[in-house]
Amino acid sequence: MKRLLLLTAAGLTVVALAGAVGLPDLAGAQDATPTPDTITVSGVGTVDTVPNEAQMSFGAETRKPTAQAAVAANADAVRKIINALRQAGGRELATQWVSVYPYTDETGNVTGYSASNSVSAVSDVGDAPALIDAAAEAGANQISGPGLSSSNAEALYRLALAKAVAEARLNAEALAKAAGRSLGSITAIVEGSAAQPGPFYREAAAATDSATPIVPGQQETSATVSVTFSLR
């Protein structure tokens, strides 16, 4: 009986040693899988264009002894402005704000009321001078703008994105070559925040013969990306 127990203990000892020394660690083998080398670079793309749309604001302020009289007179004035804008080629007309407030004399007493109404309109850049002149002739005493933009802004931004990716690839190729490596496939792309059109930095058209010349200049649309490449 003692001999049987001794043999069993010896067998267990051999199995334990075999597990400690000879059996493979599958979890450790999975963790040891090499991670592919990557490189992350940024790129910026820009597209220059001449804006073809103008957005402007036109309004009227009217003063009367009572608020009701001021609102009524202001409504008539703004209707004339709206009709003039439409006849001059304005589109996408929209009311921006309406306000009525009292005005006072030096002693603080209310002496009357002021009513204001502002309307925005969009036109082609070439028609903007006519809109300004027509609104002023119709009685507008509050004119602001123009805000210039391109009607194909989305397409311009996508083109800038493509240029940004191309620049990122050139930057990555230069870095990989310097390290004695070559580029593999793209593994990730992150789009940066969209940039607003840049300032007007160069004239693109001469002033017209209108009483209110508008020179659109040139705008810059830009995009940024961050691109990750695998390395070979």
The residue assigned the tokens 């059996």 is 23
Which amino acid, 93? Answer: L
Give mean pLDDT in consecutive 10-residue pieces for the chain, a chain of 232 residues. 44 44 50 73 94 94 95 95 95 94 91 95 92 94 91 93 96 94 93 61 40 77 95 93
The residue assigned the tokens 């391109």 is 150
Alpha-carbon separation of residue 62 from 43, 78, 84, 95, 111 (angstroms): 53, 10, 18, 17, 14
Residues in the chain: 232
pLDDT at 197: 55
Long-range contacts of 200-207 (CB under 8 A, 24+ apart): 200/148, 204/50, 205/50
Ramachandran area for residue 10 (φ above 0: left; ψ -120 to 50: alpha; else beta): alpha
DSSP structure class, residue 65: S
pLDDT at 206: 38
Q: How far is the C-alpha of 163 from the C-alpha of 223, rounded, in Å? A: 8
Which amino acid, 107? Answer: T
Q: How far is the C-alpha of 135 from the C-alpha of 131, rounded, in Å? A: 6
pLDDT at 33: 57
pLDDT at 196: 55
pLDDT at 210: 45
Chain center to CA of 162: 16
pLDDT at 35: 62
The pTM of the whole model exceeds 0.85: no
Domains and CATH numbers, the chain: 38-50+152-231 (3.30.110.170), 53-149 (3.30.70.2970)
